[in-house]
Chain A
Amino acid sequence: MVAHFVRLRLTILANTFRRSVWQMIGYLFAMLYALFVIGMAVVGAVAGGGVDPQLTGQIILLAGALAMVAWWVVPIFAFGTDATLDPQRFVSFGIPRRQLLTGLTAAGFTSIPAAATVLVSVGIAFAWWRTPALIPLALVGGLLAVALCVVGSRALTTVLAPLLDSRRSREVLAVAALVPIVMIGPVISWSTTRLADGATSGDQVRSLVTDIATVVGWTPFGAPWGIAPAVDAGDWGLAGARLMICLISLVLVVFAWDRGLARALVTPPTAGAGGRGKGLGWFDHFPSTPTGAVAARALTYWIRDPRYSASLAVVPLLPVILAVAGGSGGLNEIILILAPLTAWILGFAISADIAYDSSAFALHVATGVSGRADRAGRALAIGAPGALVVSVFAVATCAVTDRWDLAPMVLGVSYGALGVTLGVSSVTSARLIYPVPKPGDSPLKQPQGAAMATLVAQMAGMLASFAISLPVLVLAVLTLVIGPVFGWIALVVGSAGGVAVCVLGVRFGGRWFDRRTPEIMQQVMAQA
């Protein structure tokens, strides 16, 4: 049975390679990247182990605990990313639960993340090369940790499955998950700047790490990584306690998974109560023309479809990220980039709009809606609220930095960026259809193998936008170097130019759309 599951898993993996060359290349790059990260981690651990084994052990403990938390939590948010381990798929085969459990466990170990985790935990055991007797102990701890990662993540998703049944709760979770993910970078840079500021000395850092590691070491996330360090410190009692924590948690998660599986096998998933809308929503507030209808539909999707709302959810976080990136010395002028950056992000958000429609685009084809109406509606849906948000951001950032002299320039660059990116997106989304998360998928689910094609398409769009924006950018630089009079010119050129590029993009993209409608439809179908 175990062999069956492992073979199923490997076959599915091999088949994804066979489906497309791009997918395989994407996978290869992912693997190379993973190997690089693993190598860096191992090298770092071994080097650290030579200098200061105790501190290295504590850092490994903290990093390992973080990795295990990720193992447990990410699958909950990233629903639908890996259905091969979904027990629901095996319900009708009547496999005895015990066998199903071992089979799914074995299959859980047969994945690229699991392989990477095993490699890392084996590699970092050699951090103890100064005291070779500890290496086997660290290996045991590492393998316990991998087991806890894999089984724990299965247990948690299976146990929580009833909560995730309803579409709406899954979608809200997926969007909410973005917040911590987006904030990881700023938090790290914030803590490093705090440390680098000299506010804390090396010793204080050390004692902080030790304190946190001591606490985390008592949790199942840290315990397996903490066995070898405890022995190294000569504290056999602590080592024994940590080992017990590992074993007890392992038994508990297996038990929880077993219970969860038992229930899942007799409880088919229910659709759950869906939400209900009221009346016609945005369709009542837009003119009853094809353009207005497309805009109303697109605006509804910005709120209703987690793939869209996830990118909107990033916008309120941007000020926080920039404020953090600006350093701890209060707000500085870096935050003035907020409005143009937001404009840029919003404008590019529709650069793959038809790909996001997926085969629902057939309605646009069958109704024969004109390319111009399609393009204009989509641009309007994000452009009108976008202009408002960008204006508020521009004024607010000028206010907090007290640089009202730069306000015209900031506004000009922002409007220019919004118009240009909307115009370019209106052309690219009619031309470049690349794989995006499908309707109903988690916004976190990046289609495998899309990486290269997506990157090329997005780079092309960005370069084009940058080239078109050059005049306004030059004016912005002149404002900063020479004087605020250029700021007013930037405002005029940016606003007028933005509108012009947007209109031209809509027309040009629309003409392209009209000429290639059936071809676009076929491209979309090929991705569906």
Chain B
Amino acid sequence: MSVLALRLDGMSEPHLSRPADAAPADPTPGAVERPDVRSPSAPPDPAAALSIRGLWKRFGQKTAVAGIDLDVPRGSFYGFVGPNGAGKTTTLSMATGLLRPDAGTVMVNGTDFWSAPDSGKAQMGVLPDGVRLFDRLTGAQLLTYSGLLRGMDRDVVAERADDLLRAMDLTEDKDTFVVDYSAGMTKKIALGCALIHAPRVLVLDEPFEAVDPVSAANIRDMLADYVRSGATVIVSSHVMDLVQRMCSHVAVIADGQIRAAGTVDDVRAGGSLEDRFVELVGGRHQTEGLAWLRTSSDSD
């Protein structure tokens, strides 16, 4: 797979060199590969669904995203993982038009996103994390609103809204105001809003947070179907198991930089994705501490 993106130390091999002598228990942050000494970036890949080059974003003193290169092949189910505050949401916001990058290029299906955001947005469905919804609308109204805002035909919107409500197990609550929805239901209706125009590229930030296991399984099946039909789905998550089972590709981000990217099998290199993630990102303690937490009965 030539579109497979791996830009660490300018290597061409689609696997990662493990830090040879770093004991698993003591991965000093920064000892893992950093893309500092990368050869000059290749131009963005027009064949990719999403191709990012040299993306930077700084908020005051803090650099949230520090030069990210990433290629998301068409038809892939792409997992985007990283610790809290690693820059996942910032990166995805810049790829979807919610945040203007300080520098860098975002290309969606071969067209430069930031020079013509509207055509990029038309091809994308977005589930942003940590934003409100227009929650004084009912579930059905919110879906309709999302469809009509995109200029879709009323009948198509109505038909798809019904389908989506059924797929999200929300048919019974379609006339309930979103403000009265539970956290999981809110996530599901937001996902519906991202799907209603059948986008070629779907970007979901933490889509399964607070969603019950049954609905999550239904949604996973639906997304897998969607990918099989040729769409590209990008999912950010903290749940490594989920990404390992669900995704074809994965990128690991930490401190605003890509630590590893490629097919899930390449990145995990035989181990579990979770172990590989911890190894790449660092930060595990060899805890002796909190001795008082062991038994509460003899703590005095």
Contact = CB atoms under 8 A, between A and B. Distances in A.
A366 B148 contact: no
B175 A276 contact: yes
Contacts of B15: none
Interface stretch (B17-25, B30-38, B130-138): B130-138
Contact of B176 (A274, A292, A525): A274
Interface string A280-302: 11010000111011101100110
Interface centre among B131, B138, B149, B193 (most CB of A within 10 A): B149
B6 to A, nearest CB: 30
Given A276-B176, A277-B177, A362 B141 contact: no
Contacts of B99: 518, 521-522
Interface stretch (B150-158, B220-228, B241-249): B150-158
B237 interface: no
Given A277-B141, A279-B175, A368-B122, A288 B149 contact: no
B27 interface: no
Interface in A430-481: 439-440
A324 to B, nearest CB: 34
Given A292-B148, A366-B126, A519-B100, A280 B141 contact: yes
A525 B98 CA distance: 10
Contacts of B126: 362, 366
Contacts of A368: 97, 117-118, 120-122, 150
Task: Give the one of A280, A297, A440, A518 with max B CB within 10 A.
Answer: A280
B236 interface: no
Contacts of A297: 134, 137, 141, 145
A116 B122 CA distance: 56
B121 A366 contact: yes
Contact of B97 (A358, A360, A365, A528): A365
Interface string A297-317: 100110011000000000000
B97 A518 contact: yes
Nearest to A303: B136
A279 B144 CA distance: 11
B104 to A, nearest CB: 14
B128 interface: yes
B96 A366 contact: yes
Interface string A323-365: 0000000000000000000000000000000000111101111
Contact of A363 (B117, B134, B138, B151): B134
B195 interface: no
Interface residues of B, number: 42
Contacts of A305: 136
Contacts of B136: 300-301, 304-305, 439
Given A294-B149, A518-B99, A271 B180 contact: yes
B146 A363 contact: yes
Contacts of A519: 100
A271 to B, nearest CB: 7
A99 to B, nearest CB: 22
A367 B121 contact: yes
B16 interface: no
A366 B134 contact: no
A43 B187 CA distance: 58
B61 to A, nearest CB: 16
A237 interface: no
A369 interface: yes
Given A274-B176, A360-B133, A280 B122 contact: no
Interface in B258-299: none
A143 to B, nearest CB: 43
A290 B151 contact: yes
Interface string A129-144: 0000000000000000
Contact of B179 (A274, A357, A370, A528): A274
Contact of B98 (A283, A289, A301, A521): A521
A474 to B, nearest CB: 42
B183 to A, nearest CB: 12
A366 B177 contact: no
B132 A274 contact: no
B140 interface: yes
B130 A283 contact: no
A338 B145 CA distance: 35
Given A277-B138, A277-B141, A279-B175, A288 B154 contact: yes
B87 to A, nearest CB: 16
A465 B254 CA distance: 50
A414 interface: no
Contacts of A363: 133-134, 145-146, 149, 193
Nearest to B59: A522
Contact of B140 (A280, A300, A364, A369): A280
A144 B132 CA distance: 45
A362 B131 contact: yes
A518 B57 CA distance: 13
Nearest 10 A-B pairs (CB), nearest first? A274-B180, A368-B121, A293-B148, A288-B154, A359-B131, A304-B136, A366-B126, A277-B138, A362-B131, A518-B100
Given A293-B145, A297-B141, A368-B97, 11 more contacts: A274-B176, A278-B175, A279-B175, A280-B141, A283-B145, A288-B154, A297-B145, A363-B134, A363-B146, A367-B146, A368-B117
Interface of B: 96-100, 117-118, 120-122, 124, 126, 128, 130-138, 140-141, 144-146, 148-154, 157, 175-177, 179-180, 193-194
28 contacts: A274-B179, A276-B138, A276-B177, A277-B137, A277-B177, A279-B175, A288-B148, A288-B157, A290-B148, A290-B151, A292-B148, A294-B149, A300-B136, A301-B134, A357-B134, A360-B131, A362-B132, A366-B121, A366-B126, A367-B121, A368-B117, A368-B122, A368-B150, A518-B97, A518-B98, A521-B98, A525-B131, A528-B131
